[in-house]
Amino acid sequence: MSLKRYLIVCILTLCGSSTLFAQDRVPAWGGGADLEDFSFGFSFSYVSSDFKIVKQPDWRTPFFDTDPGVNHIITPALNSISSKSLPGFAVGFLTRYRLTEHLEARITPSLVFADRNLTYTYVNPEVNPTVTKQVQTTTVDFPVSLKIKSDRIGDFRAYILGGLKYSHSIGAKKDDTNADMLDKLVKNNSGYASYEAGLGCDIYFEFFKLSPEIKISNSLGNVLQHEYQPYSNPINKLSLHTLMFSLYFE
C-alpha cells in the first residue's frame, strides 16, 4: 500500500471513530449551564395558597365588644371558619451552584402576589350573612434548597428538591386602628419561615434549559397577629399552605 493510500485510510478511520464517539456523548445543549459551577436564570410561577386554621376551644362563642361606647355582643355564634385557595403569581430569579454531578444548591428569590381569605359563617345565615375577610399580601420570598438530579437521558433529567424559605411582606399596610370592630382586618406577621419540597425535570434546548417544577410549602409557627376583634379572636393559629407551579429558564 502506498503512503498516500495509507494516509487516506488512517484519516477515514479517525473520522469514523470520532463520529461514533460523538454519538455516545451527551450533547452539551442547554446553553452550557450544566458545564459551569455557577449559572443564573429567571422564573414565572402560578401560586395557590390558603390557610390551615386551628381554632380556639371557645371559637363558637358570640363576640362581646368591651368598648365603653358599645359594651354588648356584636356578632352571633359561629358555625364555621374556613379558607379557600386563591390564585396568584410570582416572578423570580435563579442562582445555581453545582456541588456534584447530581447535587446542586439553589437560591431562588421571587416577588409573590397572592391573596388569601378567611370565611366566617354563623348559626343563623338568614339573619347573619357570611363574612369573608381578604388578607392581601405581596411578599418577597428567599428560598434556599438542595436539588438532587437523576442521570441525564438525552435532553431530559428528573429531579427532587427540598429546603427552607423566608418570606417578608412589603408595601404599606392599611391602618384600621380607629375602624369599627366589624371592619377590622385579619393581620399576618410581616415575616415568617416555611419548609418546602418539590419535583421537576430539566429539558435541554439548544440555547437554554427549561425546568417545569411543582412545589409545596408550609409555614413554620403561627402567622396570625392576635388581636381582640371578632375575626382574629376565635383563631388560635394560622399556618400558610402554598402550591407553586414554576417554569425556570436557565
Q: Is-contact 244 50, C-beta < 8 A?
A: no
pLDDT at 16 over 50: no
Which residues neighbour 24 within 8 Å (Cβ) at sequence distance 6 or greater? none
How far, CA to CA in Å, does 41 sit from each of 101, 125, 248, 249? Answer: 19, 51, 7, 5
pLDDT higher than 70, residue 79: yes
CA–CA separation, 156 and 126 (whole Å)? 57
Which residues, 6 or more positions from 92, have their beta carbon under 8 angstroms from its beta carbon? 42, 43, 45, 108, 109, 110, 111, 141, 246
94 touches 40 (CB < 8 A) = yes
217-247 pLDDT, tens digit per residue, is 999 999 999 988 899 999 999 999 999 999 9
Structural domains in the chain, CATH included, are 31-249 (2.40.160.20)
CA proximity to 152, closest of 14, 38, 29, 4 = 29
CA neighbor of 145 nearest in space, from 125, 164, 170: 164
What is residue 13's predicted lDDT score, i.e. its pLDDT?
A: 42
Distances (CA, A) of 116 to 74, 101, 130, 193, 212: 25, 40, 16, 17, 25
Task: State the pTM of this model.
Answer: 0.80
Split at pLDDT 50, 70, 90, the class of 144 is very high
What span, in angstroms and rounded, lies between the C-alpha atoms of 7 and 227? Answer: 89
